[in-house]
């Protein structure tokens, strides 16, 4: 699972939209311009290297939130259209893609088609986490979309937006994965797999387990490797079972697997990666394949 786009940088080369790399791949930190992106040649090399080892690489383009690098490149794809800079520093940023503008879908279909061409595996991750609705609430086009599609609110609009991507990506032969926020409205396509990461989405996610939703399980409190071991201890990585609400395990046939995310924007050396990854990844691996733990 390769998180290739976020507010602070667009990290994959697009030949269709080179401005995404000229603008969206870079940010200012004080006087310094920092950033970069993987070329398509590098991506192909990594995918092939993984494939030789029976590993599928799943690309993630995070949508509709965490898209400041995209709307900094193309402000007309946001609700207000106002110019802005690629984000620096961490956080959740309100400027997201407009779900009411048809041009957004034209852009996304073209971009996702290009990304699909680089990743032959069966899955595509469309993100979906932490998408604030403040812009959509004020946007005439988003409000018009809500009316025209008979949606209840902005959460249902995100589910509708996700449904458009599911439909498009299915036609490309892909199964869609999204972070658990895609479940908030309870109306998202049953075809989408949810990646469970945050406790605040617990109620909505638990309801979806009852409907047969399939999950990848990666709760931040147990599996996030970028957190120091003081916050995400080895024992927790080892012991945590796929369960959202207490005493309500997710049926085994609905759990595709566990994932230990390692967010690397501030991890720049192999040594640092290894200190974060091991030994917790070994605990995660054994947790994945062992029911009787010792
Ligand atoms: C996430 O960690 N925001 C999915
Ligand atoms: Zn809008």
Task: Collect the ranges in the chain with pLDDT lower than 70.
Answer: 199
Q: What is the crossing angle of helices 154-171 and 140-148, to 10°?
A: 80
Ligand 1 atom nearest the C-alpha of 130 is: 3
Q: 254 near 214, Cβ under 8 Å?
A: yes
Q: 156 catalytic, yes or no?
A: no
The 10s digit of each residue's pLDDT in 54-81 is 999 999 999 999 999 999 999 999 999 9
Q: Is the CB of 196 under 6 A from ligand 1?
A: no
Atom 3 of ligand 1 has which residue's CA nearest to it?
129
| Options 3, 62, 66, 226, the catalytic residue | 66
Q: How far is the CA of 99 from the centre of ligand 2 (A)?
A: 5
pLDDT of amino acid 248: 85
Q: Is the CB of 221 under 6 A from ligand 1?
A: no
SS (H, E, C) 66-104: CCHHHHHHCHHHECCCCCCCCCCCCCCCCCCECCCCHHH
Give how far Cα 178 sits from Cα of 2, 136, 159, 250, Å. 13, 20, 11, 17
| Options 114, 130, 137, 203, the catalytic residue | 130
First-to-last alpha carbon distance for the chain, in angstroms, is 29
pTM of the model: 0.97
Q: Could you tell me the two tokens for 62?
A: 């995070």
Q: Is the CB of 179 under 6 A from ligand 1?
A: yes
Q: Is the CB of 129 under 6 A from ligand 1?
A: yes
Q: Is the CB of 130 under 6 A from ligand 1?
A: yes
Tell me the Ramachandran region of residue 32: left when phi exceeds 0, alpha when psi lies from -120 to 50, beta otherwise: beta
Atom 1 of ligand 1 has which residue's CA nearest to it?
129
The 10s digit of each residue's pLDDT in 202-240 is 999 999 999 999 999 999 999 999 999 999 999 999 999
């Amino acid at each position: 699972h390769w998180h290739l786009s976020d507010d602070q940088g667009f990290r994959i080369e697009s030949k269709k939209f080179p401005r995404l790399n000229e603008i969206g791949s870079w940010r200012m930190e004080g006087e310094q311009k920092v950033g970069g992106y993987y070329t398509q040649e590098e991506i192909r090399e990594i995918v092939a290297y993984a494939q030789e080892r029976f590993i599928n690489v799943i690309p993630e383009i995070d949508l509709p939130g965490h898209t400041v690098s995209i709307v900094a490149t193309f402000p007309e794809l946001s609700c207000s259209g106002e110019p802005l800079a690629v984000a620096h520093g961490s956080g959740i940023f309100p400027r997201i893609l407009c779900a009411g503008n048809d041009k957004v879908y034209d852009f996304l279909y073209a971009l996702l088609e290009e990304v699909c061409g680089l990743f032959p595996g069966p899955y595509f991750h469309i993100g979906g986490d932490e998408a604030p609705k403040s812009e959509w609430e004020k946007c005439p086009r988003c409000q018009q979309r809500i009316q025209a599609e008979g949606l209840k609110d902005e959460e249902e609009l995100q589910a509708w937006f996700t449904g458009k991507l599911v439909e498009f990506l299915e036609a490309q032969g892909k199964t869609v994965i999204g972070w658990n926020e895609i479940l908030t409205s309870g109306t998202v396509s049953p075809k989408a797999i949810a990646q469970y990461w945050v406790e605040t989405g617990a109620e909505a996610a638990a309801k979806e387990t009852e409907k047969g939703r399939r999950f990848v399980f990666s709760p931040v409190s147990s599996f996030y490797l970028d957190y120091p071991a003081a916050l995400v201890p080895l024992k927790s990585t080892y012991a945590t079972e796929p369960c959202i609400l207490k005493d309500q395990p997710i049926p085994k046939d609905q759990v595709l697997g566990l994932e230990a995310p390692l967010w690397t924007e501030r991890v720049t050396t192999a040594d640092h990666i290894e200190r974060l990854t091991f030994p917790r990844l070994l605990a995660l691996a054994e947790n994945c394949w062992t029911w009787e733990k010792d």
